[in-house]
Structure formats: C-alpha cells, structure tokens
Amino acid sequence: MFNWKSEIVNLVCIKQELAEIDTQKLWPWHLPSVAASEQEIMECSHHLGFDLDPMYADFLRYANGWRGFIQAADLFGTVDLLGNEKMRRAEEALRNLDDSVFEHAGILREELFPFAMSLLDLDLFVMTKPSATQAGIVIWFAGYETQRFDNFQDFFLGMVEYNRLVIDDLRQKARMGNPG
C-alpha cells in the first residue's frame, strides 16, 4: 500500500526548500489542503457521474487538493471537482484542445476529466475515466501531450521528481549568478 502521509510530507519538504531558494518568487508556496471526508469524495463521484480513480480518491483522503502543486498548477480537491470556476476553466481548456492532440495521444476527449491545471499557462492534467479502455491514466497537456503516467501514484511521484529538478535548476542558476 502506498504511504500517502510519507509522500506528502516528502513533497512538503521539497516545496519548502524550493520556496527558500526561489528568491524571485516565481511560484506560489502552499501546503496541501486538509483531508477530504468520505462524504465529500462520494459527493464528487455522484456529481461527476463516475467513481473517482481509487488512487486519486485515496490521495484526497490525506490532502484535499494542493494549490501550487507543481509550479503554478493546482491539484484539484473536492471543492474544485464539484464544479467551481477552476473546474469550469479546466473543462473549457480540455474542450479547446485541438482534435489532433487526441488523435496523436490515441485517446478520446470524452474519456478524460481534468483534475489539475494552471491558470497562468497551458498546463492541464487529465485522467482517463473508469469507463475508458485504460482507466486511471494521467496525461499532462501543455497544448500537446507533454507526459503520460500509468496512474495517479506515478503522476504524483513524477511531480515530486519534477519539483526536485526545479530546485537543481534554480541552484545552478544561482551559482552562475542568475537568480531566476
């Protein structure tokens, strides 16, 4: 079983280090939101019309979303999934992706739902619905498919690594006298 408590604490530490060396304050720094209740998760499933991916739902039981999860991209919690402005913008971004993006990705737009996005750039993170041929796959779009993960857990660990790479990049720039 995946240890969400440990992995969330690990990412909090990484993001805290990132916040300390981000002297230009390029990205927001937030802690994850407090855990979602079973009732909130069930309400989301009812509202969406399908059960949330088990790994994502398990994550929500420990952290009900996370603003600034990866740079300016927010990982949605139950409030977002129930249809706030953030979710409406994510759904619009998904609708506005060119059809060729889905042809290239080999997936149908209707099989996807957004669960994270940036309001500042093109980053949109989607997951395949349970009814999809391959349920639970996570795809990162930035106008095109940027990266694909087998499941939510792999996505989370990938974003942990990505945050580490940002730290390395900022440190290297600082050594070269370029803070941002």
Q: Give the contacts of 176 (CB within 8 A, at least 6 positions apart).
A: none
101/167 Cα distance (integer angstroms) = 31
pLDDT of residue 25: 84
pLDDT of residue 27: 81
Sheet holding 138-141, edge to edge: 66-70, 73-75, 112-118, 124-128, 138-141, 145-149
77/115 Cα distance (integer angstroms) = 8
pLDDT of residue 180: 56
pLDDT of residue 1: 78
pLDDT in 10s for each residue of the chain, 180 residues: 799 999 999 999 999 999 998 888 888 889 999 999 999 999 999 999 999 999 999 999 999 999 999 989 999 999 999 999 999 999 999 999 999 999 998 999 999 999 999 989 999 999 999 999 999 999 999 999 999 999 999 999 999 999 999 889 888 888 887 655
Tally Cβ neighbours within 10 Å of residue 16.
Answer: 11
Confidence (pTM): 0.92
136/148 Cα distance (integer angstroms) = 11
